Amino acid sequence: MNKDKYTPIELSIFSFLLMNSFTSTILIKEFHNMNTVSIILSIICAFLIGFIFLKIYINSFNKFNININKNGLFTFVLKIFLIICSIIILLYSTFNLSLIIKDIILPNMNQKIISITFLCICYILAIKGIKSITIASNLMFMVYIVVVLITFFFNLFNINPINLLPIKFNLENISFYKILILTISPLFMLLIIPKEDINNFQKYKKYLYISYTLFYSYLLVKILFIVSILGIKYFSLVAYPEIDVLKMINIFNFFERLEEILIINTFIQNLITSSLSLNYIYNLSKSSLKSNKWMIRIINAIILLLIIKIDVLSDNLLVITATIFIILNTFISLKKT
Amino acid sequence: MKKILIILVVLFLTGCNSYNDINNIAVVSSIGIDMQNENYKVYVKVLSSNQENKSDLYESICSNLDECFDDINNKLMKRLYLTHLDLLILSNNLAKENYDHIFDFFLNQKSSRNAFSTIIIKDFDKKIFEYDTKDINNMLDLSINTTGLSKIITLDSIIKDMLNYRLSYIPFLEINDHLEIKGYKTIYDENKILSSKESISINFIKNNINNISLIIEENNYNLESCNSLINSKDDKLNINISCKYKGEEIKDTQIIKKFIYNSINNFIKDNSDNYLKYIYYKFSGNKKDILDYDINIDIKYTEDFGGGIFE
């Protein structure tokens, strides 16, 4: 077996973390002021409709790579758009993580310094290639699972099922568009991997469906778990409900104030997404311009400038970008090879 | 390039950029908030770096909380650090809007974890700061397992209750010759001091009690492994309480049952706006003025807690 080939299991774990990219920061706000039934229905709707996009994603493997490597002005323009979209995804991922770190761990630190430091780590990982990002994601997934289990078990006694009441059916509150778009869009960056580099693609397909189902089950349990602990009104009031749940962890009255360590899950999600988007940008720029060294330098400078200049980012811009990103990927894949 | 980046990352990760000398921050151990002539009077107890004085007390009077804390900051010439705050002491004369201001203030403080204990004190006095904050918290912790009067209530749980049920129960204390726990005080939509029986009732309803020593007509009854469950059936709220009782006579269980039943029944009748009403609303989805309820108390008599259980 070739060492550089991707195994189905490692790619599906990678996909799971990619789908989780924006759940702790942007996606969780979508559930504000929703009741239990609306939360369940929104996630189920997003899950079912997401299957269509997942099908498109699986069918796009190889077609995307063949079409993107073609010469021509149209492909060049498409590539530029894809690069802009992935820069915006990278910016959001970096910006949101640095904001959380500033708010929770380092209140006196300049947010831009946190962003740049984080970007340096992403850059080191990105230039190592997708294979390295995949291995890193798989290793970090173990830590991710441990943190999730600690959070779950040591918060079991804080659950108050009454917070999930009243059970009222209200169709007006259902919103699944953002959930669907923000979970599926980072996955499309994996299309840059050639199909032949994946060991047993059929098996990957199967594992991806399992990973996708597990992700939505996890999302549903996670949101209901947080709501049952905090109550829907407190959940809607606080900026980071997930961290408020972590604050409540008290292991045998001995281990307290663990939120600053357990926040690592948000770090993992954003690190994986940012590194992949950076790698995606480099790969696309390499294939579009021959003098790629300068191109990469210019892109790095643009990203750095944007991170220094941007103070506020509207969540809607990410949703629009993610939608455009999915449409462009689908369009490229549907083109005749 | 990679090496330069790694050096850059290592340099930034040391946290030297946000470095704060321990002598430049004031670690707050407790805060007191009182109202005087429509002005806030804020007391801040700060851990002292001086070995002779364990802590220093600072106070300020102003129209809003931020001003008070800024004033204390200026007096101290240090930044107040709320992460190690153990106790928030509130005055008995605070109104609904004052609670809003206090909750807003703490929710906006980045250094505050909001997991500190909160109490209300009758006739607010500086004397309360003579007590160690840890002793007050230990007293509350002990109370729930002995008299069942009150437990430690944290600020975030108060905010949660206030948002979800529009009322919250905060431990109510009084200083006479010594500090004494009186029970709870209901705040927000209703402002009422609960009697000791009412406080025990709300603890039973909220499943706060595990072990309790009930004093009924000068007799002491020890209950253990108490558990309560609330559910709704046919538009009726069912409150189920079960406990194990270690005593000499089986007939004692009847006395205990009667005491708990009457306490809870009187609590619901005397407090029109109570926690159970909001629970019922959550179950049924409609607000009713008169609450239909049923109280089931199951006291299991046991000779020895380590041995068998006899009905």
Q: Looking at chain B, which residue has its C-alpha nearest residue A120?
A: B5
Cα B230-B233-B238 angle, rounded to 5 deg: 35
Cα B241-B242-B245 angle, rounded to 5 deg: 135
Question: How many interface pairs between A and B have CB atoms less than 8 angstroms apart?
Answer: 69
pLDDT tens digits for range A269-328: 999 999 999 999 988 887 766 656 777 788 888 888 888 888 888 888 999 999 999 999
pLDDT tens digits for range A213-241: 999 999 999 999 999 999 888 898 888 89
Residue numbers of B between 145 and 184 with CB closer than 8 Å to A: 156, 159-160, 163-164
**Of A241-245, B50-54, B120-124, B199-203, where does mean pLDDT reach its minimum?**
B50-54
- Rounded to whole angstroms, the Cα distance separating A16 from B298 reads 48
The confidence score (pLDDT) of residue B192 equals 87
Contacts of B156 in chain A (CB under 8 A): 234, 244, 247
A166 prior amide bond cis, ω within 30: yes
- Note whether B12 contacts A113, CB cutoff 8 Å: yes
Q: Looking at chain A, which residue has its C-alpha nearest residue B232?
A: A162
Best of A234, A243, A246 to substitute, by most chain B Cβ atoms within 10 angstroms, is A234
pLDDT tens digits for range B216-246: 887 888 888 888 888 888 778 888 998 888 7
Contacts of A122 in chain B (CB under 8 A): none
- Note whether B163 contacts A234, CB cutoff 8 Å: yes
- Rounded to whole angstroms, the Cα distance separating A289 from A278 reads 17
Report strand pairing: B25-36 vs B79-81. parallel
The separation between CA B301 and the C-alpha centre of its own chain, rounded to angstroms, equals: 32
Long-range contact list for B165-168, CB < 8 A, 24+ apart?
B165/B275, B165/B278, B165/B279, B166/B278, B167/B273, B167/B274, B167/B275, B167/B278
- Rounded to whole angstroms, the Cα distance separating A34 from A172 reads 10
pLDDT tens digits for range A116-146: 889 988 988 998 889 999 999 999 999 999 9
Residue written as tokens 């029970």? Answer: B183
The rounded mean pLDDT for chain B is 84
Give the predicted TM-score (pTM) of the model. 0.87
The confidence score (pLDDT) of residue A9 equals 93
Phi and psi at residue B294, in whole multiples of 5°?
Answer: -140, 130
What residues are paired with B239 via a beta bridge? B230, B295
Residue written as tokens 């995606």? Answer: A280
CA distances from B198 to A167, B177, B256, B265, B297 (A): 30, 24, 15, 10, 17
Coil/strand/helix, residue B146: coil
Confidence of residue A1 (pLDDT cuts 50, 70, 90): very low
Which ipTM value was assigned to this complex?
Answer: 0.81
Alpha carbon of B7: minimum distance to chain A alpha carbons (Å) = 10
The confidence score (pLDDT) of residue A104 equals 85
- Note whether A244 contacts B156, CB cutoff 8 Å: yes
Q: Alpha-carbon dihedral of residues A219, A221, A224, A228, nearest 10 degrees? A: -140
Q: Are A18 and A187 in contact (CB under 8 A)?
A: yes
- Note whether B113 contacts A257, CB cutoff 8 Å: yes
The confidence score (pLDDT) of residue A186 equals 92
- Rounded to whole angstroms, the Cα distance separating B66 from B182 reads 31
Residue A189 has pLDDT above 50, yes or no: yes
pLDDT tens digits for range B5-53: 777 777 766 666 666 777 778 889 999 999 988 899 999 998 876 666 6
CB-closest option in A117, A162, A231 to B163? A231
Kindly state whether B206 is in contact with chain A, defined as any CB-CB distance less than 8 angstroms. no
A173 exposure class (CB count in 10 Å sphere: 0-12, 13-18, 19+): middle
